[in-house]
Amino acid sequence: MPKIQSFSAPWLQEPNPGHKLFEQSEENSRLSASIAYSKSASQGPKRTIAQRGNEVFVANGREIRWGDIAYLKDALEAEQSRTRASSHLNGDSSDSSFEVYDEETSHVLQGPGYRVIKTPVASEIRQLVMSPNKDQLAVLTSHTVHICMLPDTSLLTSGETAPFKPKFWTLGPTTHVTSKSAVVSALWHPLGVSGSCLVTVTEDAVVREWELSAIDRWSFDTPTLEVDLRKLADGTSVDQDFAASTSTNKTFSPDDFDMKVASATFASRNSNGWAPMTLWVAMAEGDVYALCPLLPRRWSPPPTLIPSLSVSVARKSEALDADSEATQDEKLLAKQQLEWMADLDNQEPKLLEGPYGEVTEVYSRPSRPGSIPRLQGPFEFAVAPEDEQDDEIELKDIFVIGAKHNTAELMMGEDFELYVDDDDKASLSISVVCLLSTSGQVKICLDVDGVEAQWLPPRNAATWGFPGRDIPSLLVFHTFDTLKPAEMTSDSWPVFSEDVTSRYAFYVTHAAGITYVSLEPWVSLLESELQSDSDAGADFRFDLLVKGQRAEVDRIYTPQHAQNVLAAATAFKTSDLGHFVLSATHNDPVIMFFDTPESEFMSDREETPGPAEDGETPEPLTVWEPRPLFHPSEVLSRPSTLPSWLDNLRTSRKRPLMQQEVRLSVATLEIFTEGHRLVSSEVFDLNNAVAELFRKCEALTFELKQQITKVYEVNQRIETISGEGESRSTKEQNISEEMLVRNRVDVMKVRQENLSRRVDNLRKRLGQVSTRELSDKEKAWAEEVRTLASSILGDEEEEEDTTTASINTAAQSLKRFDEVQTLRDALFQQAQQLQGTDTVDGTSSPMPVMKIPSDIRKQKVAQVMSLLDRETALVEAVKSRLEKLSID
């Protein structure tokens, strides 16, 4: 469910010029509310808003108002900025003309941003249906249809204020007239060439196809295909005449009640298989029929439609040929479909270049087996709840969501895959049929079997056989109500409206409000169940799925006055204005702006607070909640009917009584009674309107107090976060804002240093934990060091006490020191003996001189010196060790 941001658009509210798009026309303003909006006003659906990009077309009475919403918004903002600038300069700001700067043409555009389009209709406009190419507009009254050739936007924004008169064509000037049946639906065929094929369905179950061409005026006079569904339901051969009867003498028939059409619809153009060429017809009594394939004489399919149909038809035919249990009816149907596809495959499509350089393939409607398909239905509703017993409850509208493209089956055996839109990935492989009744009940049905093309047999039924009339069925998946029991009225006509964000979301508009419905919660789950090969029973799995998921149903708008009839909600999504839904009462617009997914994502990131100190995450405080605008009752501005009654009285046969004194008589009593009735009704309405205004003012004061309280709470939170609350509570310390900021920065610096220190410690610990193993050389060197340490300091593992070990180590060192000194003395003595020998008389005689090579002498001296240095180092080490022990 999208979140509602606002219920107001200033550029569409009074007194701004954009409000003139929805103002009540002068013709309707002359009538009182009790007459203008009686039961006759609710006959037929009310779809009086159509869109073309940022442009909106609104039907009001017999007029059509055009307006560019983005233009009106920019114009109002420019006017407000100009007014503010002029107020600063003490200038005159009374001029209310709009000026908008156009960046493309670099000049100022002038104009009101809206125009009145004059129409040739003779009664109130009930429906506006925009063509797929946005170049034609079907204008429907209760019985007539007119086609408006829409002009380019530049012609409407030229600055002219006079009513615009575009080219209008009357569709079927002898067919759709007030003396014949009413028109309930006008649909642009999704496969029409350049979106120029219009299908009209009348209340007497007659379907007509009009292939329109602006250069051929006869295309507006005669339909290219006409089918009477009542005749087709009883048809036995494809060669029969199923056109509507031109006779004005009508006899009684049960079909007049059972086949009274309430609405009709097509699936979207991008649907799979036979869905784009299937016309679904809903009868007021509750029956549903399908007509497939219903094609214009010239039609343009999407690129993947014909290949997918060829694959499915060929595969079905092969399966039936291999199946020995297949019935003759199934084989006949497969043969007819193959014949239809063969006629289509033998055609060479014509290439038609579109307005934007697009090339479209145009095919002719296959003539075999026939141009008029068989009528399938009435459908049986499987697993359906009990129908409502009230005879006044009727079916009013139907909405069909086509199945997604089966690209896997189409591209089987190919080396590449087709691009699949994200919408198709999350879509169902079966069609969804939604039905809406007068009571506001919505039935969500699944076309599990799938509607396929069917035709009646030819006249030689003995050769072809006759297909059995198996009753098709729709599986009722979900049923819910959009109206409360107190809001139900027998004369209401609720309608469906598409949403622009999802193909499985739509709006239900009725007199009691607008309801948003989304089927997305169970669509993906159902598709996964349909594609899975689980061993669980289908009944068990389907029952679990139905009980576990429900559609999103939410009332997004409720009108203030129950007597106002709302126009069908129209969804917009533009880069200039965002996502919103537009509807209208008879005098005011109804608009609701929604959050876009991007704004919701950014708001979630910005508004989500960080973790609190106690571990809890407080929810953001909602300062205000959007609510619908309040419009005072029109009774307060409606002129009184008493003056016109007095004028009529002065010209009536009771005129003499108005010129004489009041006398007691029957005529005087009648005048007073009628005057009292008029005055009492107006006073009663005025009292109710004033009471409603008073209650709204009281509620406004209460809401204002709530707003002030919430703003105060938000202010307290801001002061607490910024530190201003503590400074205000301690008045003795007059700390400036700069000091508060500096203190906060210092605190953050200390916190950053602590975090950095913790990160360094963790990095060191991780380095210690993740040490690698020692190599063989490192292990050998460590063993050598331990051996040397044990030889010098002793074996620490065998020592029991540290002090004892130290004393033993010192004793061993002294012992080795004594040994070294003894060896030194012995070496000195040997050296002296070598230098000379003693004689008998005690005198020394020189030793004979021995010639030793100098290099040997140098080597020996070097060895001695190294030994001395080593012994000196050992002595110094022992000495320092002893000093340390003595200090300890």
CA–CA gap between residue 156 and residue 97 (Å, rounded): 17
CA–CA gap between residue 724 and residue 735 (Å, rounded): 9
Longest dimension (CA), the chain: 195
Read off the tokens for 154. 């530049």
CA–CA gap between residue 70 and residue 51 (Å, rounded): 12
Residue that is last in its domain, among 726, 759, 791:
726
Read off the tokens for 227. 């089918």
- Domain annotation covers residue 835: no
What's the confidence (pLDDT) of residue 171?
93
Q: 15: cis peptide before it, omega within 30°?
A: yes
In this structure, are 444 and 588 located in the same domain? no
Spans in the chain with pLDDT lower than 50: 31-42, 91-110, 413, 415-416, 419-420, 462-467, 599-619, 731-733, 799-800, 838-842, 844
- Domain annotation covers residue 846: no
What's the confidence (pLDDT) of residue 628?
75
What's the confidence (pLDDT) of residue 560?
76
Helix (H) or strand (E) holding 346: none
CA–CA gap between residue 740 and residue 33 (Å, rounded): 64
Residue that is last in its domain, among 539, 558, 577:
558
In this structure, are 806 and 712 located in the same domain? no
In this structure, are 642 and 576 located in the same domain? no
In this structure, are 571 and 553 located in the same domain? no
- Domain annotation covers residue 352: yes
- Domain annotation covers residue 340: yes
What's the confidence (pLDDT) of residue 96?
43
Spacing of C-alpha 18 from chain mean position:
27
**Beta partners for 186?**
200
In this structure, are 485 and 596 located in the same domain? no
In this structure, are 380 and 416 located in the same domain? yes
In this structure, are 355 and 379 located in the same domain? yes
Q: Dihedral of CA 875/880/881/887: which sign?
A: positive
In this structure, are 598 and 466 located in the same domain? no
Query: Alpha carbon of 212 to those of 171, 196, 452, 462, 788: distances in Å?
Result: 9, 5, 28, 40, 109
What's the confidence (pLDDT) of residue 109?
41
In this structure, are 577 and 461 located in the same domain? no
Q: What share of the chain is helix, strand, coil (3-state, %, to 5)?
A: 40, 20, 40
In this structure, are 418 and 451 located in the same domain? yes
**Beta partners for 136?**
149
- Domain annotation covers residue 195: no
Q: 369: cis peptide before it, omega within 30°?
A: yes
φ, ψ dihedrals at 288, nearest 5°? -130, 130
φ, ψ dihedrals at 280, nearest 5°? -100, 130
Write the single-letter amino acid at 384. A
- Domain annotation covers residue 59: yes
Query: Can you give the residue range of the structural domain that contains 449?
Result: 224-510+513-558
Q: Are the beta carbons of 549 and 542 closer than 8 angstroms?
A: no
Read off the tokens for 240. 């029969």
Q: Which parts of 305-440 fold into alpha helices (H)?
A: 305-322, 328-345, 407-410, 422-425
Q: Render the burial of 97-122: b for 16+ CB within 10 Å, e for the rest.
A: ebebeeeeeeeebebbbbbbbebebe
Closest by CA position to 66, among listed 124, 110, 108, 20: 20
The angle that helices 802-835 and 854-887 make with each other, rounded to 10 degrees, is: 150
What's the confidence (pLDDT) of residue 39?
43
Kind of pairing, strands 4-6 and 578-584? unpaired
What's the confidence (pLDDT) of residue 609?
42
What's the confidence (pLDDT) of residue 49?
94
In this structure, are 154 and 238 located in the same domain? no
What's the confidence (pLDDT) of residue 536?
57
Is 0.75 topped by the overall pTM?
no
What's the confidence (pLDDT) of residue 28?
58
Q: How many CB atoms lie within 10 A of CB 200?
A: 24
CA–CA gap between residue 261 and residue 201 (Å, rounded): 8
- Domain annotation covers residue 193: no
- Domain annotation covers residue 151: yes
Kind of pairing, strands 136-140 and 261-266? unpaired
What's the confidence (pLDDT) of residue 604?
41
In this structure, are 274 and 406 located in the same domain? yes
Number of structural domains in the chain: 4
Read off the tokens for 784. 């050598």
